[in-house]
Every structure is written in structure tokens, then in C-alpha cells.
Amino acid sequence: MTDQEKAIIEERRKENAIKTLFYNRYFAIRYISAAYLFVNLYWAAVLYMTQDYLAMLVPVAMLVFAGLTMWEQFKMFTRNQEQAKTTYRFYQTVIGVNSILALVTLTGQIGFLYPFLQDTQQSIIALLLVQGVGILLAVWILSKLNRINKNADKQYLRLKQYLAAHE
């Protein structure tokens, strides 16, 4: 291997390291988005098995939106990142949908969206806990996205240190 080939390989390694540092800013967001995707997939599958096709609209719509979010996150493996607008809208939607679902749960109408659950106090409490956790995670992700957009996140500080040391 010539010195020129070694230099090219080293330059590619540096560029990939920088892309990875940029990409890792969204690490938690990618995994939580994947969790939302699979929760909605499971919910839609259970509703399909219970033949509650109208109620499937909610999890299927959220599943598609989560898929678009995952696609946007996949495209973030670059040095020149744009703001994650789809991801931001998805988590705003998660807050809205979970809030509406909590209201539906509180009104005792869980049979329509959750026909696989019995209408008991334990089921209502469990659903409210799940919806509350969903809302809290979405709020946390939105604040994380705001920090990333302002370059005020911890990973960006590491990125700046790496760039200062290697460029």
C-alpha cells in the first residue's frame, strides 16, 4: 500500500468518524422512535386479529409516521445535517395522540381502541401509565431535538473537541 492510498484511507476514516459523531447526536431519538414504531405495529396487529379495522387507523397512521421518522433519522448519517422536522412533528403528534387516548381512557371508552383489554380499573391505570410515559418520552425527545437544533447538546461539544483536535 502506497503512502497516497494510506492517506486516502485515513481521510475516509476521519470523515466517517465525523459523520458518526453527528449521527450519534440522534442516538436516543432513533431508538425511542423504533420503540414507538414497534408498539404501534403490535397494537395494529392485535386490532387486526380482533377485526377492529376502524380502530386500526390510529396505530397504522402512527406506524407510518414513525416509519417516516426512522427514514429521516437514517438520512442523518452526514456531516451537513438539517433539522429533523419530521421527527419533531412526529413527537408533537405522539403527545397529542397520547393525550387524546388518555381522555378516551378516562371516559371509560377503552373497548373501542383496546378491545383486547377488560374494562377494569387496573386496565385503565395501566393504559394511563403507558400513555403518560409516552407523553413524557416525547417531551424529553422534543427538548433533546431543541438542544440539538441550538447545538447545545453534549454530543455536539464532543464533536467540536474532536474537530479541533483532528482538523
Hey, where are the domains in the chain? 10-166
Q: Tell me the mean pLDDT in the region 6-35.
A: 87
Q: What is the pLDDT of residues 115-159, one digit of tens each?
A: 888 889 999 999 999 999 999 999 999 999 999 999 888 888 888
How far, in Å, CA of 37 to CA of 61, rounded?
10
pLDDT at 1 over 80: no
Give the pLDDT band of residue 163 (cuts 50, 70, 90). Answer: confident
More confidently predicted of 87 and 164: 87
Task: Say what the pLDDT of residue 23 is.
Answer: 84
Burial 93-130 (b: 16+ CB within 10 A, else e): bbbebbeebbebbeeeebeebbeebeeeeeebeebeee
How far, in Å, CA of 121 to CA of 104, rounded?
14
Q: What is the pLDDT of residues 67-80, one digit of tens each?
A: 999 999 888 877 77
Q: What is the pLDDT of residues 79-102, one digit of tens each?
A: 777 889 999 999 999 999 999 999
- By CB atoms closer than 10 A (0-12, 13-18, 19+), residue 15 is exposed
Give the pLDDT band of residue 167 (cuts 50, 70, 90). Answer: low
